[in-house]
């Protein structure tokens, strides 16, 4: 296993810190996932040990749909890892849970809805709060308020060239309004 895929083990206390806003975000994401409001797989895109630590004190739930999503995540593991690495490159370094959120956000980025919906958030503004708390420098780079999934893949395209960018600039792209239009 490469260093990029190496698992980091965190303590249960790091998942349930009262002074970490991610505790509130994770509770909302778990609740939304359990009611079928997210695209997240059963383990939220986390390694088994990390997921077990996260849900300590919560009731775990698995669904057929969540298991299928877990299998689909495995098929796109390299893409997921690229997204995790992008997010971690921009983490705030305030809480260990930022790494956990990178995995969850990356898994939700593989879904087909707007990222805030795929995470079970109430709004794009709430997603922005989560991203600002965890990955502030990445949020600053999105100075034109591009939709988050589109922005993440644009960043991957610019940094690695492994992802196909359809146009040399956003203004020339025929799907400009798909990236910058209203998300309601």
pLDDT in tens, 91-143: 999 999 999 999 999 999 998 899 999 999 999 999 999 999 999 999 999 99
pLDDT band at 2, cuts 50/70/90?
very low
CA separation for the pair 115, 109 (Å, rounded) = 6
Compute CA distances 164 → 33, 45, 60, 105, 150, whole Å.
31, 24, 38, 21, 12
User: What residue ranges do the domains of the chain occupy?
Assistant: 3-180
Give a three-class secondary structure readout of 45-85. Answer: CCCHHHHHHHCCCCCCCCCHHHHHHHHHHHHCHHHHHHHHH
Structure tokens, 121: 């958030």
pLDDT category, 9, cuts 50, 70, 90?
Answer: very low
Q: Structure pTM?
A: 0.77
For every residue of 126-174, DSSP letters joined together read HHHHHHHHH-HHHHHH-TT---HHHHHHHHHHHHHS-S--SSSSGGG-T
Summarize pLDDT for 55-88 with one digit per residue, the tens: 775 555 566 666 666 777 777 888 999 999 999 9
């Amino acid at each position: 296993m490469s260093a990029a895929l190496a698992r980091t083990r965190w303590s249960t206390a790091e998942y349930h810190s009262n002074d970490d806003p991610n505790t509130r975000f994770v509770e909302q994401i778990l609740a939304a996932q359990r009611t079928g409001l997210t695209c997240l797989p059963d383990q939220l895109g986390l390694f088994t040990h990390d997921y077990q630590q996260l849900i300590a004190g919560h009731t775990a739930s698995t669904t057929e749909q969540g298991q299928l999503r877990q299998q689909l995540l495995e098929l796109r593991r390299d893409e997921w890892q690229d997204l995790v690495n992008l997010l971690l490159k921009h983490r705030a370094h305030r809480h260990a849970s930022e790494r956990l959120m990178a995995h969850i956000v990356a898994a939700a980025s593989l879904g087909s809805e707007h990222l805030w919906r795929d995470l079970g958030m109430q709004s794009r503004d709430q997603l922005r709060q989560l991203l600002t708390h965890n990955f502030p420098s990445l949020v600053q780079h999105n100075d034109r308020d591009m939709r988050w999934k589109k922005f993440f893949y644009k960043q991957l395209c610019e940094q690695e060239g492994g992802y196909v960018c359809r146009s040399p600039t956003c203004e020339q792209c025929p799907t400009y309004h798909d990236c910058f239009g209203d998300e309601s």
